[in-house]
Structure 1
Amino acid sequence: MKYKINVALTRKILRGSYLLILALLIVPAVLVLNEQPTLLTNSKLIPAQLIVRTPDDQTLEFTTFEPTVIEALDAAQISVGEKDTLSLPDNLPLSAGNSYQIEIIKRNNVTLSYAGLAVEAAAPDLPIAELISRSGFDLLNMEDGSRIEQQVADSESNAGAVISYVDVEHKTEKVLEEIPFSTVTVNDPEMYIGESKVRTEGIVGQRALIYDDIYENGIFLSRTQ
């Protein structure tokens, strides 16, 4: 009887030890399985870094959890003008832990006029001389009196600038003008008083006059001989 009890007790001890060992093996396995979701959850807590250069040459650095570039700028209350552009796409997704360098490129409304035809455009904020160079107006012929006219508040900025190329055209016009003949009265003693006659028929003459007509943007301006 004592032998049987000892055997049963031994089995219980072995069974308990087995369960303990099994439990010790299972717990690390559960921890390993749960580790990946934990890492994924923590990655959402890592912000993206943005380094923004503004049109007035200021550099702003901040972190954000916003999903896209434009949403991050809006959340940081960084103004982007309606005509301004970004060096990165505004809908670019932001990845956790990554750093992004963004430049806000200021663009101004300018008006370019060629021979009376005007076009409005958005141009980078440049000195007026550089804008004229980029527009190609400085390559046009100026020898015939054509010219570039500027309406701008500040030579260092093209904001609201109006740049016009005035096309001057010269046209030569030949006009024929009649030259009326003159009359000379000669006394003839052989004729009675009050009597007259034409000895030679007069002929109306002609002369050619050359005029220089000036047109600006296709509209007649003046005429000189």
Structure 2
Amino acid sequence: MVALILGLVAFVGTNKSVVLAVDGETSDIMTFGGTVEEVLAKADIQLTAADRVVPAPDTEVLDGSRIEVTTAKTVNVNVDGTGHTIQTTGSTVADLITELRVSANSSVSASLDTSLAKLSGLSISTPKTVLLVADGKSTEIETTAETVGAVLEEAGIEVGPADRLSAPARADLADGMVLKVTRVVTGTQDTVTEAVPFETRSVEDPELLEGEKQVTTAGVPGERTLVFDTVVLDGREVSRSLVSEKLSAEPVTETVAVGTKKRPAAPAPAGGTAPSGGSWAALAQCESGGNWHINTGNGYSGGLQFSVQSWLGAGGGAYAPIASEATPEQQIAVAENLRANGGWGHWPSCARKLGLL
């Protein structure tokens, strides 16, 4: 009887009443366990490393103790496009946000008071600073948008089908990103008109003297119309391609009559016969030292020292631009034309020396 009484006293002395709370559900249990770990083992509660137990598993259990167990939950979290599998003992989305230490200004796919037990996945977009360059403006934007397309929509930027983006619209947004929208305008046509040069043809005219020319039909330039397709980037043309070409006005060919009529012989000088080749040679010897191709740059050239005006006026242009580039015979022929209108007075000093005046 004494032994029975002592055993009963021992039983009553070691038996404890403990409050056990598992994920918020409480129960009162009677236990002989000495530590929290032993109590949980006898209650058939299996713990993982991520679970939270208060007090610690090696804490001694006293009568009336309270043990709280929070089992870890697995949540699939996507942060700024990167997926993570998180083990957490938090109970709400707010707890998880705090645990992950993301910005309070982040965009979250579920309300902060949502229970993690009812949540299989969560998407979080943290605030990012983006430089948006579009339509001639650069704007710095702070946003929680997840993609390039989303931040463009948020900023009210419409992107046309031909416009270009520096990153695809579906690309994830990154902090510090520079996003450029290039406006592309195609299908615009530019019409240009340009002159078409006329041709010149020469026609022999027996009524004009040799060396003489006369325009009988004036040349008129034509006109061509060109149509181009253009490509314009941000208001600046970068390329064009010809799509059509049309001759809108034909050019008119210029006709020039060239004299073929032989010139009449020069009249004889007042003192007698027409000058001989020897007279011209003597005159050239006096004027230029007999050098028929001299050109000193003083405005006169050739053996008989023609000015450009007198050379061209007497028909020398039919042979050469200036006298020094013509043959002696050609220079004498032009000199004959000149002497026929004004006599030897065109060479007053040398003609006087040679007795031709």
Q: TM-score, normalised by structure 2?
A: 0.33
The structure whose RCO (Cα within 8 Å, separation 6+) is larger is 1
TM-score of the aligned structures, taking structure 1 as reference length:
0.48
